[in-house]
Amino acid sequence: MIPIPEKTPGNTEWFVHDRFGMFIHWGLYAMPARHEWVKSYERISTEQYEKYFKFFNPDLYDPKVWAKAAKNAGMKYFVITTKHHEGFCLWDSEYTSYKATNTPYGKDLLKPVVDAFREEGLKVGFYHSLLDWHHPHYTVDANHPMRDNPEYIARDKDRDLDIYAEYLYKQSEELMTKFGQIDILWYDFSVAKTTRFEGKGKDQWKSEKLIEMVRKHQPGIIINDRTQIDQDIKTPEQYQPREWLKVNGKPVIWEACQTFSGAWGYHRDEETWKSVDMLVQMLIDSVSKGGNLLLNVGPTARGEFDDRALERLQGVGTWMKRHGRSIYGCTQAPSEFICPKDSRYTYNPKTNTLYVHVFAWPFRHLFLDDMADKVEYAQLLNDGSEIIMNKSSGGDNLLTLNLPVKKPGVTVPVIELFLKK
Ligand code: FHN
């Protein structure tokens, strides 16, 4: 039995088939290059932060290069930050002067990247921050850069959050009407109340009004859960769920969002970069539990993916070239199939094919309990070479797969099992 999430308002069929997307966090924070939250972490005032706006000029920006890197990595959709918490807008918004067209770069950054990724056949997603540490009517909260500045906090009495909510609505409408079909809207995030500050959630964002407008313009769009009104997908972040995600005991459509390293935005000196092995295993693990993986890149202030990111994208792409069949169109295997240890199953219900992803290559044999009567043929996915099977005569329905002693030269070897009809 495979969990079946309830239907949601958006068109999620392509999403649960394609499984793998690219997240892109890009803004002025690429210049300090020490986390996208640098303004908050270092309590930087808007006036002090202005130098990044004044000198922002990604002269090496070529979104066609980005799109090819994503496609070659096996990614089928992308989600880019139109505006992150710093408030800087990548597109030529009519509602603010704090945008790419007013920097030394002088041009819109968003339409070119949408065109480039669409050209490569990827679906288009916009991330849009609900927080805004630049807008004059955005009040102080537990994450605000000025949360320890009594004079700034005192002026909250002159700030009207409803004016900010209107700005949020108008900019959201721009994004939904000026860039063609948008397939995903990734709002981020709602702020918890603390002993010092009020929170910000669906009432402050006026989330119902936002969602109604978005769906008016983009009927099939997938919307995430971070406006505090659940829509199409749940979004576990920086961890791998232990099992298919549930809400109120019911399985839901979910997507794990993960970074290569310890930051979403470009971080020059941060060293906790995940290996290709780990990233491939995270993708497999997500699909084995019925989920997607949204893997993030933080481009540099010159407009490039840095070598560490490119190396990992290429490594994942090399694996996906021969193993995409065990990811696309796949999901969690029927619960009656017992997965061997140090492995993950994925399953394609349409082709009735089971995939064993072997995380630790065993010596000579892999034992599949209660599978002898289910499998017609077995092969290594990377080269299509047969895997000889032995079906036990002891009546215990054990299936033994005879493996080459030497692990195949791929990140994660996969055995493709063609199940009997
Ligand atoms: O604060 C953001 C963070 O910078 C990043 O954008 C992630 C991506 O999901 N979302 C928020 C943290 O949950």
Q: Is the pLDDT of residue 59 over 90?
A: yes
Compute the distance from residue 231 Cα to the ligand 1 centre, in Å. Answer: 18
Q: What confidence score (pLDDT) does residue 229 get?
A: 97
Ligand 1 pocket (Cβ < 6 Å) reads 25, 36-37, 188-189, 237, 257, 264
Q: What confidence score (pLDDT) does residue 107 get?
A: 98
Q: Is residue 134 within 8 Å of 86, Cβ to Cβ?
A: yes
Compute the distance from residue 82 Cα to the ligand 1 centre, in Å. Answer: 13
Q: Is 63 helix (H, G, I), strand (E, B) or coil?
A: helix
Query: DSSP label at 409?
Result: S
- The number of folded domains in the chain is 2
Task: Name the average pLDDT for the chain.
Answer: 98
Task: Give how far Cα 406 sits from Cα of 85, 291, 360, 411, Å.
Answer: 49, 31, 12, 13
Q: What is the helix (H) or strand (E) element at residue 257, kind and residue range?
A: strand 255-259
Compute the distance from residue 129 Cα to the ligand 1 centre, in Å. Answer: 9
Tens of pLDDT, residues 256-279: 999 999 999 999 999 999 999 999
CA distance 271 to 106: 33
Name the residue with tokens 């009519």: 94
Domain-ending residue, one of 291, 326, 361:
326
Compute the distance from residue 345 Cα to the ligand 1 centre, in Å. Answer: 30
Q: Is residue 105 within 8 Å of 143, Cβ to Cβ?
A: no
Tens of pLDDT, residues 82-106: 999 999 999 999 999 999 999 999 9
Any idea what the CATH number is for the domain that residue 357 is in?
2.60.40.1180
Tens of pLDDT, residues 197-236: 999 999 999 999 999 999 999 999 999 999 999 999 999 9
Is residue 331, in this structure, part of any structural domain at all?
Answer: no
pLDDT band at 393 (very low <50, low <70, confident <90, very high): confident
252, 396: one domain: no
303, 379: one domain: no
Q: What confidence score (pLDDT) does residue 228 get?
A: 97
Mean per-residue pLDDT for 304-319? 98
* Residues forming a β-bridge with 78: 22, 124
Q: Is residue 233 within 8 Å of 270, Cβ to Cβ?
A: no
354, 403: one domain: yes
Any idea what the CATH number is for the domain that residue 25 is in?
3.20.20.80
Is residue 335, in this structure, part of any structural domain at all?
Answer: no
Is residue 338, in this structure, part of any structural domain at all?
Answer: no
262, 395: one domain: no
Compute the distance from residue 379 Cα to the ligand 1 centre, in Å. Answer: 41
* Residues forming a β-bridge with 257: 237, 294
312, 350: one domain: no
Q: Whose CA is nearest to atom 10 of ligand 1?
A: 188
316, 361: one domain: no
Is residue 238, in this structure, part of any structural domain at all?
Answer: yes
Q: Is the pLDDT of residue 394 over 80?
A: no
Task: Give how far Cα 211 sits from Cα of 128, 144, 163, 199, Å.
Answer: 13, 25, 18, 20
Which pairing describes strands 414-419 and 375-380: parallel, antiparallel, or unpaired? antiparallel
Which residues constitute the domain of residue 183? 13-326
Task: Give how far Cα 36 sits from Cα of 87, 236, 254, Å.
Answer: 11, 19, 24
CA distance 81 to 182: 13
Is residue 170, in this structure, part of any structural domain at all?
Answer: yes
Q: Is the pLDDT of residue 395 over 90?
A: no
Q: Is residue 333 within 8 Å of 417, Cβ to Cβ?
A: no
Is residue 7, in this structure, part of any structural domain at all?
Answer: no
How many CB atoms are closer than 10 A to CB 11? 14
Is residue 1, in this structure, part of any structural domain at all?
Answer: no
261, 350: one domain: no
Is residue 319, in this structure, part of any structural domain at all?
Answer: yes
Domain-ending residue, one of 297, 326, 355:
326
Sequential DSSP letters for 173-236: HHHHHSSS---EEEEE--B---SSS--B-HHHHTHHHHHHHHHHH-TT-EE-STTSS--S-B--
Q: Whose CA is nearest to atom 5 of ligand 1?
A: 264
295, 380: one domain: no
216, 315: one domain: yes
* Residue whose C-alpha is closest to residue 178's, from 186, 170, 188: 170
Tokens of 248: 């109120």
Q: What confidence score (pLDDT) does residue 217 get?
A: 98
Tens of pLDDT, residues 14-35: 999 999 999 999 999 999 999 9
322, 380: one domain: no
206, 347: one domain: no
The closest-lying atom of ligand 1 relative to the alpha carbon of residue 265 is 4
Q: What confidence score (pLDDT) does residue 392 get?
A: 82
46, 148: one domain: yes
Domain-ending residue, one of 292, 326, 360:
326
